[in-house]
Structure 1
Amino acid sequence: MDYYQTESAIIKELENTMGSIAADDVLALVEHIQRAEKVFFVGVGRVLLSLEAIAKRLAHLGIKTYIVGQITEPAITNNDLLIVGSGSGESMFPLGIAKKARSFGAAVAHIGSNPSSPMREYTDTFVRIPVQTKLDRPDEVHSIQPMTSLFEQALLLLGDTIALMMVREKNIDMHNLWQFHANLE
Structure 2
Amino acid sequence: MTKLQYQLILDELKTTLSNVKDEDVENFEQAVKDAKHIFVAGKGRSGFVADGFTMRLNQLEQPAFIIGGITTPSIHEGDLFIVISGSGSTEYLRLLAEKAKGEGAKVALITTQPDSKIGELADTVIELPAGTKYDAEGSEQPLGSLFEQSAQLFLDAVVLDFMQDFNIDETAMQKNHANLE
1:135, CA displacement in angstroms?
Answer: 5.9
Aligned mates of 2:180, 2:115 — CA distance in 1: 44
1:132, CA displacement in angstroms?
Answer: 2.3
Aligned mates of 1:111, 1:4 — CA distance in 2: 29
Deviates more, 1:127-136 or 1:55-64: 127-136
Aligned mates of 2:27, 2:34 — CA distance in 1: 11
Aligned mates of 1:132, 1:173 — CA distance in 2: 34
Structure 1: give runs of 5+ residues left out of the alignment.
Answer: none
Aligned mates of 1:120, 1:157 — CA distance in 2: 21
Aligned mates of 2:48, 2:173 — CA distance in 1: 22
Q: Aligned to 2:6, what secondary structure does the other structure show?
A: helix
Match of 1:163 among 156, 159, 164: 159
Identity %: 35
Q: Aligned to 2:69, what secondary structure does the other structure show?
A: coil
Structure 2 residue identity aligned to 1:184: L
Q: Aligned to 1:55, what secondary structure does the other structure show?
A: helix
Is 1:179 the counterpart of 2:175? The answer is yes
1:27, CA displacement in angstroms?
Answer: 1.0
Structure 2: give runs of 5+ residues left out of the alignment.
Answer: none
Aligned mates of 1:15, 1:135 — CA distance in 2: 19
1:169, CA displacement in angstroms?
Answer: 2.6
Paired position in structure 2 for 1:59: 58
- CA deviations on 1:38-81 (whole Å, 9 max, x unpaired) are 11011111111111111111111011111111111100010210
Is 1:148 the counterpart of 2:171? The answer is no
Aligned mates of 1:89, 1:53 — CA distance in 2: 20
1:171, CA displacement in angstroms?
Answer: 3.2
Relative to the length of structure 2, the TM-score reads 0.94
1:115, CA displacement in angstroms?
Answer: 1.8
Structure 2 residue identity aligned to 1:157: L
Paired position in structure 1 for 2:113: 114
Aligned mates of 1:38, 1:154 — CA distance in 2: 25
Paired position in structure 2 for 1:87: 86
- CA deviations on 1:11-62 (whole Å, 9 max, x unpaired) are 1111111111111101111101111111101111111111111111111101
Aligned mates of 2:2, 2:84 — CA distance in 1: 30
Contact in 1 for aligned 2:100/2:106 (Cα 8 Å):
yes
- CA deviations on 1:136-180 (whole Å, 9 max, x unpaired) are 8xxx8x311110000000111111110001112333232222221
Aligned mates of 1:80, 1:62 — CA distance in 2: 16
Aligned mates of 1:151, 1:107 — CA distance in 2: 23
Q: Aligned to 1:119, what secondary structure does the other structure show?
A: helix
Aligned mates of 1:19, 1:58 — CA distance in 2: 24
Aligned mates of 2:168, 2:84 — CA distance in 1: 27
Aligned mates of 1:50, 1:170 — CA distance in 2: 22
Aligned mates of 1:115, 1:79 — CA distance in 2: 23
